Structure 1
């Protein structure tokens, strides 16, 4: 099983100036996420992008070779609704994650908001294209991609401004990790960045934070490929979760599965 090396340490404190800082028992806290950065100055006109690159420790001192992402409004999830929340973001918030949950329950895809089948999430996506409150382009095409995310195919789709719905194991800081599916989580991939070393990264939106995320495509790919086991969530010890036939590593599950969505009309931010 491939392993992901530990993340490098955060840049030194001199890399940024803390605004409205409170220090209580030596624990620094930010008010309203206001941070003035001394790094990633190439993205100074896009604070959200600058923040994403800073916390991913990517392109701190030099601009990327390529950088493009699609505007997506963040939506925070309630309960284990990460997949439905990511799908709602794709729909600009209409239908809501709760409305999608009611449909998923009726279709016996979910009990509590969980979504352990890429096929089920794709079916919800397609079922709601014609009923979404926000009119989406008729040219939208969506389908399952079964394979390694770190591929020329996926990189080209991202260059063509497609979005991806991707399941992966989420670490405590929401970055991809390798836990055999025990922390399975859905994210919406909305863009990409190629750093000055040629490494490919992807921009991510998901229901656990309002901040734009930036992940290594290789790490996300490895995490997506390691989804083999369901683990009962600690905070839902008595709830029953619906799994597809064959489990999360079966043909209807999550392992090596993602959803490609083509033809969206979101605003595109292209930095370089």
Structure 2
């Protein structure tokens, strides 16, 4: 601990005594240019100039809060504050409309589209925190009594032995972490997003509940197939469904984009008929992940296929000298074909 700075005692100014000037003493030298550069102080200030006040003493050790270093949290917070100063994050509906306008060729013109979405905040990750960032974003939709910080999620995950660097290679561990920190219900769904799980996932999303999905991340953050070498996490908070006919009543057409419909808030509506799994390009997941502020629309089958091929641990990570928590059975046992359904805990 650094000791408080000490200062020497204030020198005593001797009294000024006026004596007759000796004629043999030469007159004083003229002032130097440096002295002329500064205006003379008033007499009252020349007589006594008080010293500057000493700096405040450091607080005692008991008053210093020791915060453990959380990998990447500082940068994430800095970026979050920068975004708040720049403006609000685009809401889900507006972000989807932006994507529909930019990539209209990706969406079938023979279908009408119904958008179910929930608004998520954004937080940029630093390091392998994608799963915990996705869980933090999902937590804002779960009606928890108190907001849970990313730092808290990282802390509990480390204490329970789920992670070392912030990585999460186990959907089962993610479920336990969600239940403990967010006081929510977490359902681990095995067997992938297709087959009998497809209807359950879509029904979960249209009711406004979040879904956590591990997948392989491509250069543009979209799902790809790299055998788990680019394993990443995303949170899905909505779905865009293409239908032949929009159920009536309960839906309204968008004022800017004809053919796009939204559920009317507070009005009961009939869920649409889900397209067949063999129908390409008819369902898109509205997702966010920790490397972008914006939502993305991913083809459902593309996400399904990426999630089903997570089998290997990244050779680059294996050689980077860091320690990672990987479950018994590796990435395949921890992530492959698994997703996490999160919903608020039912009150009894």
Q: TM-score, normalised by structure 1?
A: 0.70
Q: Is 2:151 the counterpart of 1:104?
A: no
Contact 2:311–2:336 (CA under 8 A) maintained in structure 1: yes
Q: Distance in 1 between matches of 2:221 and 2:235?
A: 13
Cα distance, 1:108 vs structure 2: 1.1
Residue aligning to 2:335: 254
The equivalences for 1:60-99 within 5 A come to 64-92=112-140, 94-99=147-152
Greater strand share, structure number: 1
Contact 1:202/1:214 (8 A) holds in 2 = yes
* SS at 2:312 equivalent: coil
Q: Distance in 2 between matches of 1:245 and 1:235?
A: 16
Runs of 4+ in 1 over 2 A off after TM superposition: 51-65, 91-99, 159-162, 195-198, 232-236
Residues 74 and 63 (structure 1), Cα distance of their counterparts in 2 relative to 1, 3 Å cut: farther
Deviates more, 1:59-68 or 1:140-149: 59-68
Q: CA RMSD in A?
A: 2.8
Unpaired segments ≥5 residues, structure 2 = 1-85, 141-145, 245-274, 276-281
The answer as to 2:186 corresponding to 1:142 is yes
66-75 or 56-65, which deviates more? 56-65
Distance 1:220 1:191, change over 3 A: same
Count of residue pairs the alignment pairs up: 212
State the shift of 1:63 in Å: 7.5
SS at match of 1:66: strand
What's the offset of the Cα at 1:215?
A: 0.4
Secondary structure in 2 matching 1:193:
strand
1:114 matched residue in structure 2: 167
d(CA) in 1 for partners of 2:132 and 2:153?
A: 6
Q: Which residue of 1 aligns with 2:302?
A: 219
> Which residue, 160, 167, 172 being the options, matches 2:207?
160
Residues 11-59 of structure 1, C-alpha deviations (whole Å, 9 max, x = no match): xxxxxxxxxxxxxxxxxxxxx89xxxxxxxxxxx943122233455544
Kindly provide the CA deviation profile for residues 195-245 of structure 1, in whole angstroms up to 9, marking residues without a partner as x: 367511110011010001110110000000000001144698111111001
2:292 aligned with 1:209: yes
Cα separation, 1, equivalents of 2:318 and 2:292: 19
Q: Which has the higher contact order (CA 8 A, sep 6+)?
A: 1
For normalisation by structure 2, the TM-score amounts to 0.56
Matches of 2:187 and 2:93 in 1, distance apart?
A: 32
- The answer on whether the counterparts of 1:64 and 1:193 sit within 8 Å (CA) in structure 2 is no
Unpaired segments ≥5 residues, structure 1: 1-31, 34-44, 131-139, 265-272
Say which structure is richer in helix. Answer: 2
Task: Report deviation, 1:88.
Answer: 0.8
Deviations 1:117-157 (A, max 9, x none): 00111111001124xxxxxxxxx422101122132222222
> 8 Å contact 1:56–1:214 — kept in the other structure?
no
Deviates more, 1:229-238 or 1:170-179: 229-238
The structure with the larger Rg is 2
Corresponding position: 1:47 with 2:94: yes
Secondary structure of 1:194's counterpart equals strand
CA deviations 1:82-106 (Å, max 9, x no partner) are 0000111122394232321121111
Alpha-carbon distance in structure 2 between the residues aligned to 1:244 and 1:105: 14
In 2, the alpha carbon distance for the partners of 1:233 and 1:207 equals: 20
- Residue 173 of structure 2: SS of its match in structure 1? helix
Task: Specify the SS of the correspondent of 1:80.
Answer: coil
Query: In 2, are the aligned partners of 1:53 and 1:60 still within 8 Å (CA)?
Result: no
Provide closer, same or farther for how the CA distance between residues 234 and 123 of structure 1 changes in structure 2, counting only shifts above 3 A.
closer
